[in-house]
Amino acid sequence: MKSTPINALQVECVEPPLFLRRQFLADRFLYKVAQLSPHPLLAKLHELSDLTRSSKYWQIKDIPCILKSYHKFIKINSPVFQCAKNPLFSCLYDVIIFKPEIILDFGIYKDSPAADRQFNKALAKDWQGWLTMYTDASKLAADGCVGAAVWIPKYEIILNCKCPSQASIFTGESTALLEALSYVESHKLNKSIIFSDSKSCLQAILANQFVSKSKFHNILKIKEVLYQCHSNNIQVVLAWIPGHSGIQGNETVDILAKNAIQTGCLNHYRTYTYDLLPLATNDMFSSWSNEWNKIKLIKGKYYADIQISIPKKPWFFNLKRFSKSVTSTICRLRLGHACTPVHLAKLRIRDNSICECGLDEELE
């Protein structure tokens, strides 16, 4: 209804206010641009930032969204990875189309009570004489660093590294795989099988990079190393096993990854732009939450008692069986602005809010 408070309606539909939406889009745009070191926008924003600080005009005006995004970017407390061109154009065509041997079904199931025994039996049967390696990544706190580790049981070798707090588990898992493959290539370890519990990383390696929306630098580097191993006749296989299922090698490398958060080397301590994109979403919801907590005391008080915090998705997002009229009616009741006698009386459309029976107020 026209009388519905805009702030409550935005929360109900999880549609942020326009000024936050503009800032969100500016943040995402700048983070994508930031990976290209020769991009002219970065130098221009640096000049503009200096001008706004020295100008009296901008001391009383709100600076542009893109400049706010730049100020957020330069405050990032870890080095940001940059390249001269799109990462995809830095790879050879043969590397991009190369299909490495990756096993996504090793015959081990997460809920199996004898997963470790089944795993060792499969190794003894089909992978006799192959060197086994395990990789994993861990992040214990949302604002904490990511630890990545590689465990080679035969030689009792541990490779570990630490990634910045902005890094995702995906980045940590791909970093661990890259470390393992680089070790295989440099030491020419033929017949090596690397086990990872990150199916998303392995699927990203198999994916067609020409149609993939995200161009992950680590994934492309992994494909390069796999291609080099293939060219040098070094057999390497990547395989997925379920995590936390009792497989001894996976459990060991999981502990090593947690330790790497504190003791890992800093060879991969840099932030990739695709890890910065979630920051834009988090900043938008954080600012929106603060705005909602202030303005709900003035407008949308009734709805604020029902919806205390801002949800990630509207309540009707997965309710496809509801018709539009049913959804609209429920939304109106939740917002407190429906065609009921009580509300119509408030708008002075009706003389009173009494039910047709004449005994009580009609709320529905």
pLDDT in tens, 199-248: 999 999 999 888 877 778 899 999 999 999 999 999 999 999 999 888 99
**Going by DSSP bridges, is the β-strand pair 102-103/157-163 parallel, antiparallel, or unpaired?**
unpaired
Please name the helix (run of DSSP H) or strand (run of DSSP E) that holds residue 159, with its range, or none.
Answer: strand 157-163
User: What structural domains and CATH numbers belong to the chain?
Assistant: 6-76+277-314 (no CATH), 87-270 (3.30.420.10)
Report pLDDT for 77: 87
Report pLDDT for 359: 56
Residue 31 has pLDDT above 70, yes or no: yes
Report pLDDT for 161: 95
Report pLDDT for 353: 66
pLDDT in tens, 272-314: 988 999 999 999 999 999 999 999 999 989 899 999 999 999 9
Tell me which residue of 311, 305, 303, 310 sits closest to 333, measured CA to CA: 303
- Residue 24 pLDDT grade (very low, low, confident, very high; cuts 50, 70, 90): very high
Residue 249 has pLDDT above 80, yes or no: yes
DSSP-derived 3-state class of residue 350: coil
| Percent of the chain predicted with pLDDT > 70 | 96
- Residue 102 CB-half CA count within 13 A: 21
Q: Show Cβ contacts of residue 124 under 8 Å, excluding neighbours closer than 6 positions.
A: none
Residue 193 has pLDDT above 50, yes or no: yes
* Residue found by looking up tokens 């008692």 in the block: 305
Q: In this structure, what are the phi and psi dihedrals at residue 135, rounded to the nearest 5 degrees? A: -130, 150
For residues 78-83, give the mean pLDDT.
89
What's the CA gap between 225 and 83, in Å, rounded? 19
Looking at the DSSP bridge assignments, the partners of residue 239 are: 103, 195
* Residue found by looking up tokens 């390069």 in the block: 224
Report pLDDT for 119: 92
21, 287 Cβ separation under 8 angstroms: no
Report pLDDT for 355: 67
Torsion-angle region of residue 309: left (phi > 0), alpha (psi -120 to 50) or beta? beta
Residue 250 has pLDDT above 60, yes or no: yes
Q: 0.95 exceeded by the pTM?
A: no
Q: Which of the residue ranges 114-118, 318-322, 356-360 would you say has the lowest mean pLDDT? A: 356-360
* DSSP-assigned letter for residue 208: -
* Residue found by looking up tokens 């309606």 in the block: 9
Tokens representing 212 are: 């993939």
What's the CA gap between 108 and 121, in Å, rounded? 11
Please, what is the average pLDDT of the chain?
90
Q: Over the range 103-122, which residues count as b (16 or more CB within 10 Å of their CB) and which as e?
A: eeebebeeebeebbebbeee
Report pLDDT for 178: 96
192, 155 Cβ separation under 8 angstroms: no
For residues 129-140, give the mean pLDDT.
95
- Residue 109 pLDDT grade (very low, low, confident, very high; cuts 50, 70, 90): confident
Residue 254 has pLDDT above 80, yes or no: yes
| Percent of the chain predicted with pLDDT > 90 | 65
Alpha helices (H) along 78-168:
93-97, 115-126
Angle at 249 (CA atoms; ends 158, 182), nearest 5 degrees: 45
Residue 364 has pLDDT above 80, yes or no: no
180 vs 57: which has the higher pLDDT: 180
81, 271 Cβ separation under 8 angstroms: yes
pLDDT in tens, 316-325: 988 878 888 8
What's the CA gap between 226 and 195, in Å, rounded? 15
What's the CA gap between 143 and 62, in Å, rounded? 29
DSSP-derived 3-state class of residue 212: coil
* Residue found by looking up tokens 């902005």 in the block: 166
